[in-house]
Structure 1
Amino acid sequence: MDVSVSCPSVFWNFLIFLPFFLGLFLLGATKGFLVLPFSISVLSIGNTAVLLGLWPAHVLGTYYGLVRTKQLGPVLKVVLFLVLPVPLILFLALGVAGSILVGLGYGFFTPLVATFEAVREGREDKFIHCFVDGVWDTIKGSCTVVRDFTDFCYHSYFSYLKDFLKEPPPESQPYEIKVLDLPGCVVVGILGVLLDVPLFTCVAIAKSPFMLLRGWRRLLQDLIGREGPFLETVCVPVAGLAVLCWPLVVVIAILSAMLSSIFIGLYAAVVVYQESSIQYGLAYIIAVVAQFDEYTNDLIYLREGSCLPSQASLSQKDRIYN
């Protein structure tokens, strides 16, 4: 729906509702800081205690299942036996760090968002709910997260291990690994991480100013195009939080690209193993960066395509070469 909106009216609505939004934001932030110590203590201490307490049982159970299972071949068992300490240690370290980060985010942002949700249309006693919503729910939610995590580590993990030890069907063959392809997989996997991580990071950082400015522009256009959502109370928190938190979204997008590029680079080893070709693995390392570049261009409405060679061009060159 096209609605003509005068700049003075939008500016006037902005001036009227800006104090209202800032008041809700400060109230929600205050509640978040009050609840944060309890939430981060429960999540970090509770989950860390569960991880440290059950980690020896996880290690012993995993190695016991690896030795006793008949679903894996002998060579694959030896390889997994040697590399299992890495994921087991990473599981412990990332679990502890993740518990702290989850407690930090959950303890602060849940009361903050609940404060804005308290002023939605149809809610009664909005003034009271602005002060009480999100406090007790965050405390109970923190305990629920620890309980669910305990159930996963204690019940679900060993349930999966029990299924892994079941006798396979008589006609099935155990999973085995191609030993001759392992050196190429390791080399290409390491090369994929060394190349894809800096390339993904450079692409994400180069596109971040466009994402920031165009995101702000789109948000402001949405605000004005709806004849000033400040006229409706429910739109105040959403619009204000979106504008304020958009730089944080951009930073999270960059960090997510850096983190995901590690696993994307490691997947080059899988390509080498599946195709039994180092050349395909090297082509994947370059093509996946081009695909990421093209995806970010589409996401922030830049020109289509990428200056890097894509999978199609690499396949065409490979056919010509052969």
Structure 2
Amino acid sequence: MDIKKFRNKLQRYLKGTSNETESAIVEAWYRSYQSAEEAEISAPEKEAIKNAIRQKINGATATPVKLNWARYSIAASLVLVSGIALFFYNFKKRSSENIVYTTLHTKAGEVKEVTLPDSSVMWVNSLSTVRVPVSFDGAVRNVLLDEGEVFLQVKHKTTQPFRVNTGLLQVQVLGTSFNVNAYAALKRTSVAVATGKVAVIAGGKTLSFLTPGQQLMFDNQTQTHKLNNIDVSATQSWKDGDTYLTQANFDELAVVVKNLYGLKLKAANPEVARYQFTMRLRRNVSADEALKVISLMHNTHFKKEGNEVVLY
């Protein structure tokens, strides 16, 4: 990086005279110091940060120094740039620490419907953990999905984006309805859009903008993703008691069985583990009835031992 040129860009950015390219360079530099959860700078934060940094720059450059300028200007600039990066980090850290969250947990067979502080509505699937702010006072409305699945109908607010943060992905909207599935056992995270438009971000990089009928599947291990066209109604039917599986693998079936009945489904051998399942499971059907339907799919049998079910 040419420190002198970058400092000039930074000065113009702080004065509001930078062009689009220069602004992008400065903000990209800033994002390189951030984690995935801190991927963007809101307008109010920009102003507060600009004022503080302007004072630092003025203080650092106010008094001329009669030394070897070629050597010391580079060193001073590096210190300044590093100091600004640290300021960005601490500013964002303080902001996040001030937020008070309420944690929601759901049990097996339980689905909760929750009205959020901004009047948005969230459905929380079984065996999920979600953290919701007591109030949406900041520049961004943040919800943290630690485990499980949620479907949201977000109230539109142009000046206050809404974000759902999972362990690896950030889903951002202004107002729309969408589903996020982040069960750890599946080793992948999926985002499906019912209405509106959704941005999916990983590590500060936008992976895709999704529109109704599109789904993004993100592999948590390889950090790769793919897009699918889907039946929108099937992705949200779980909140009304129906779960639809289409060519689902054994792990996906096992998650659904655990969610509905609190039972751990296991395959007796590798052949069973490779089976795929296309079916509908209803929340108001007993576990034994559901297991009979599952067994009929591939002419298998099951045996229960406590909370464990073996398919063979």
For the aligned pair, the TM-score class normalised by the smaller chain equals under 0.3
Greater Rg, structure 1 or structure 2? Answer: 1
Q: TM-score when scaled to structure 2?
A: 0.19
Q: TM-score when scaled to structure 1?
A: 0.18
More RCO (CA 8 Å, sep 6+): 1
